[in-house]
Amino acid sequence: MNLQKVMLGLAVGGALAAGAAESVALVADFAQPEARARITANAATLAPDTAAGLRVTTHANAKWPGVTFRPERETWDFSQARKLLVHLRNPGDAPLEMHVRVDDAKRDQVAHGSSNLAPHGTDVVEVRLNPLPFRLSHPLKLIGLRGGPSTGEEMDAAHIKRLIVFPAKSPKSQAFELLRIEAVGLGTISTLDAGKFLPFVDEFGQFKHGEWPGKLRGAEDFAARLKAEDADLAAHPAPADRDAYGGWAAGPQLEATGFFRTARHAGRWWLVDPDGRLFWSQGMDCVRSSMETPLTDRTNYFAWLPPRSGDFGQFYSKRGRAPVGYYKESAHVEMFNFVGANLLRKYGADWRELDVDRAHRRLASWGYNTVGNWSDWGVVSKRRTPYVSTISAWSPPIAGSKGYWGQFPDPFHPEFVQALRKALAKDKAVGDKWCLGVFIHNELGWGTDTSLAEAALQSPADQPAKREFIADLEKKYGDIQKLNAAWGAKHASWDALRAAQAAPDAKRAQDDLTAFYTRIAGKYFEVCRAEVKRVAPRQLYLGCRFAWKNERAIRAAAQFCDVISFNRYDYSVAHDKLPAGVDLPMIIGEFHFGALDRGLFHTGLKATKSQDDRAAKYRAYLEGALRHPNFVGAHWFEYRDQLVSGRFDGENYQIGFVDVCDNPYPETVAAAREIGAKLYTLRSGK
């Protein structure tokens, strides 16, 4: 391959033929005027004659810096390609967040891929055009699914009008090198008769129309698989260098306090277990014996649903509204637990206890030493594996706030403290030495540096946060006209400001907005810490699991959290940084990878090509976290696959260590064991 060429798409602009090669590099020579005419620099300069292919240097502070490629004709036809792979290199000394966007002309939809490139590293950004290896013969509206065939949400790959490669916006100029672009999975997309697609879920909760390694053929398979896994677990005991808690028995002996704590040792942050041994938390979220899927409005999706009387009737349940998705407005949604039904088939009447026992045996064998968030009390109460506790106390929100999972709690509201106290009073983990610490809330909507302060002003006059904010402003300005002059506002009085529910000019009011945002964040973490330490003074406060980074909020967390927590869905955290001047332990509450080669319709938040690639990405992620001086743990989300038919909010991700039939994925298990065997030598730098 001549690396002085960049792959633009078919030089003739035609369709990719069915039956073509699995991978086709699409080349246009920069020396040709017609090729240059299809390339546009966006706030960037291009150097096409370098040995690397195409070097792109972006301008500082540009919103969409990078390069755009357009077809020779009106559109490209990628209808027979599964995905596009964009091969990139980072020539710089700092990590580089790269994105690729593909736009269609017919439906005005966008496909997107991203990656964080290590300094001087290479990576491939994958953009899925036809996510599944099949399409339906005609559209079939399927409800309650994040991923699926013919949902009307996917782009029209037959009419692609442009491809954009760009880094994240930066105050500095950045450079990247484009090595090649290729279309893969050509001609591998089959067509299924939409008229015969339903039902598409079999009696075990699997995709009925697919074939893949490990698919359960019948109930008689459970016994053979159980016997095979028993032999596997016996052959792979827990790593020999662990103490009773999973700490580093072969490592240094520190002070034993009887509870988990943090310590900085030999230049790295660690957890320390109750016996005084260094501990790095390799955790598994959602260790439980259930994975329910909604039945309401779609019982025709399922080839088998049991009578409500009899052995399988126990797996029916009801739940209320989902925070997002089809069931957001449904007050009563009927659910069915296919995982529980399969465990009953596999283990018999004692399935609950036998499943809990196997979960602990699996975690130890796989190198894990922590049961993570959202796990059953029946699992953690055995005190065979250390665990974390999660408090999800509801209290009145800031009325003007927004968030993916809901509005932001008002930390100035008296019910905020009361809700925390009620939840902590019910938490059985309080005072338990097997509990690493307590998380409070999950993926709150922290927004921008000003959003929570703006939300307070957009709330009714009696909003406690709004009263606090206006009291601060009255103290600072005294006269409402002074505030009006600073903000460019026209409030007749302070009472008029209280009654108003409009956000001010964010630029004019920025100093006041950011100052009160800092107060909100500080108050939130201060109250949470105080309530945890009031009932559990020797246990760790682990924060709120930031899903999106906000430096102002993180700095507030640093004042009160023992460990700052993040849900970090990325391919690497090796170069993650805390704000300047902050040096505290960090823990990853959630991460995962998924693939589409095992009968599910969605990869989850970070896609991989296959189970082997998923295992490789897992190893690389953990190794990066273990070598980072601040990370003290990383927890995989989650123990079991979500169902092909979706959970309450539609998520139907292939992200488990075990599938719906309770069969472990051997590739990912092998990767976990490899990391577990060298967990402490990697962490210690040896």
Residues 591 and 677 in one domain: yes
Residues 536 and 552 in one domain: no
- Tallying the residues shown for the chain, one arrives at 686
Residue 87 contacts residue 124 (beta carbons within 8 Å): yes
Residues 462 and 344 in one domain: no
Nearest to 24 by CA among 7, 5, 38: 7
For 108, residues 6+ apart whose C-beta sits below 8 A from its C-beta are none
Q: What gap in Å lies between CA 653 and CA 650, rounded to an integer?
A: 9
Q: Does residue 403 lie within any of the structural domains?
A: no
pLDDT at 1: 27
Residues 140 and 243 in one domain: no
Residues 602 and 519 in one domain: no
Q: What CATH number did the domain enclosing 68 receive?
A: 2.60.120.430
Which spans in 153-269 are helix H? 221-235
Pairing of strands 292-294, 333-337: antiparallel
Residue 439 contacts residue 428 (beta carbons within 8 Å): no
pLDDT digits (tens, 9 = 90+) for 581-631: 999 999 999 999 999 999 999 999 998 889 999 999 999 999 999 999 999
Of 193, 213, 243, which one is at a domain's C-terminal end?
Answer: 193
Q: What gap in Å lies between CA 142 and CA 305, rounded to an integer?
A: 19
Nearest to 574 by CA among 617, 537, 519, 542: 617
pLDDT at 117: 87
pLDDT at 154: 63
User: What is the DSSP secondary-structure string of 620-680?
Assistant: HHHHHHHHSSSEEEEEES-SBPPPTT--TTS--B---SB-TTS-B-HHHHHHHHHHHHTHH
Q: What gap in Å lies between CA 460 and CA 464, rounded to an integer?
A: 9
Q: What gap in Å lies between CA 366 and CA 657, rounded to an integer?
A: 10
Q: What gap in Å lies between CA 337 and CA 556, rounded to an integer?
A: 41
Residues 473 and 577 in one domain: no
Counting the structural domains of the chain, the total is 3
Percent composition of the chain: helix, strand, coil (DSSP 3-state, to 5): 25, 25, 50
Instruction: Produce one character per residue of 19-52: b if its CB has 16 or more CB atoms within 10 Å, e if not.
Output: ebeeebebbbebeeeebeebbeebbbebebeeee
Residues 445 and 462 in one domain: yes
Q: What gap in Å lies between CA 95 and CA 109, rounded to an integer?
A: 29
Whole-angstrom CA distances from 513 to 137, 158, 464, 477, 549 are 54, 47, 16, 14, 18
Q: Does residue 215 lie within any of the structural domains?
A: no
Q: What gap in Å lies between CA 596 and CA 82, rounded to an integer?
A: 11
pLDDT-flagged residues of the chain (< 50): 1-20, 27-29, 31, 151-153
pLDDT at 50: 57
Of 485, 515, 541, which one is at a domain's C-terminal end?
Answer: 541
Q: Does residue 400 lie within any of the structural domains?
A: no
β-pair partners for 15: 77
Residues 660 and 609 in one domain: yes
**What is the helix (H) or strand (E) element at residue 588, kind and residue range?**
strand 586-590
Residues 663 and 561 in one domain: yes
Token output for 219: 């109930």
The answer to pTM > 0.75 is yes
Of 193, 209, 239, which one is at a domain's C-terminal end?
Answer: 193
Cβ neighbours around 168 below 10 Å, total:
12
Nearest to 181 by CA among 6, 4, 55, 56: 6
Residue 680 contacts residue 247 (beta carbons within 8 Å): no
Q: What gap in Å lies between CA 276 and CA 269, rounded to an integer?
A: 14
Eight-class DSSP state of 189 = -
Q: Does residue 385 lie within any of the structural domains?
A: no
β-pair partners for 428: none
Whole-angstrom CA distances from 143 to 99, 198, 294, 652 are 30, 13, 10, 12
Pairing of strands 175-184, 54-58: antiparallel
Q: What gap in Å lies between CA 527 and CA 536, rounded to an integer?
A: 14
Q: Does residue 390 lie within any of the structural domains?
A: no
- 510-535 and 551-560 are packed helices; what angle lies between their axes, rounded to 10 degrees? 30
Domain that residue 434 falls in: 414-541
β-pair partners for 293: 336
- What string of H, E and C letters represents the secondary structure of 363-385? HHHCCCCEECCCCCHHHHCCCCC
pLDDT at 155: 74
Residue 99 contacts residue 166 (beta carbons within 8 Å): yes
For 580, residues 6+ apart whose C-beta sits below 8 A from its C-beta are none
Q: Does residue 402 lie within any of the structural domains?
A: no
Q: What CATH number did the domain enclosing 592 receive?
A: 3.20.20.80
Q: What gap in Å lies between CA 382 and CA 361, rounded to an integer?
A: 12
Q: What gap in Å lies between CA 593 and CA 589, rounded to an integer?
A: 14
Q: Does residue 39 lie within any of the structural domains?
A: yes
Query: What are the start-end ranges of the E strands in 76-197?
Result: 83-89, 96-104, 110-117, 122-128, 134-136, 160-167, 175-184, 190-192
Residue 510 contacts residue 451 (beta carbons within 8 Å): no
Residue 470 contacts residue 498 (beta carbons within 8 Å): yes
Q: Does residue 401 lie within any of the structural domains?
A: no
Residues 171 and 79 in one domain: yes
Residues 137 and 38 in one domain: yes
Residues 578 and 634 in one domain: yes
Residue 591 contacts residue 570 (beta carbons within 8 Å): yes
Whole-angstrom CA distances from 134 to 45, 197, 599, 600, 625 are 40, 12, 11, 12, 37
Residue 454 contacts residue 515 (beta carbons within 8 Å): no
